[in-house]
Amino acid sequence: MGCYTMQPIRVDPQVGTVIAVDVNDAGRAALSGSMGPDLSQVQGPLVEKDSTGYLVSVSSVRLRQGGEQVWSGERIRIRSEYLYTVYQRRFSVGRTVAISAIGAGGIGAIILTTSLLGSAGSGNGNGGCVEPDCPTSRVGRP
């Protein structure tokens, strides 16, 4: 599992690529009947691209007033003149490394604290010392 970012594209994306499109006012008006009037961005895998626009299998919709709606792959055709920006999902090496390092550090901290706390004492009055390894000068030894 890695981290991904949405980055503006410069060339047409490949079919199957996860894209997001920012919808302009004309697009919001044209798509309001099928997607709602508060539409801001549509995201999902690209099914088809032609000279008129994009056919997207919608996985989520972002709203202008905030929030996100999850969709289950309904196909929506979005004409090119309805768009501000098209983004493509890209793997982010930097974010993946950072998240992995944080996760590994957290796991290491848990292991270290568990190890330290687990050996702090056994409750036998000898400070965790178990025979025959205990020095004879320990307090509480007969």
What is the per-residue pLDDT across 53-65, written as a single tens digit (0 to 9) for each?
999 999 999 999 9
Q: Which contiguous run of DSSP H or E holds residue 105?
A: helix 93-118
**CA-to-CA separations, 22 to 6, 9, 17, 117, in angstroms, rounded:** 12, 12, 16, 52
- pLDDT digit string, tens, across residues 117-141: 655 444 555 555 566 655 555 555 4
| Number of domains, the chain | 1
pLDDT at residue 77 tops 70: yes
Token code pair at residue 118: 């687990």
* Residue 12 pLDDT grade (very low, low, confident, very high; cuts 50, 70, 90): confident
Question: For residue 118, is it within any domain?
Answer: no
Question: For residue 47, is it within any domain?
Answer: yes
Q: Who contacts 129 (Cβ-Cβ below 8 Å, separation ≥6)?
A: 135, 138
Residue 46's CATH number: 2.30.30
* Residue 1 pLDDT grade (very low, low, confident, very high; cuts 50, 70, 90): very low
Is this prediction's pTM over 0.85? no
Question: For residue 97, is it within any domain?
Answer: no
Question: For residue 67, is it within any domain?
Answer: yes
Considering only CA atoms, give the Rg of the chain.
28
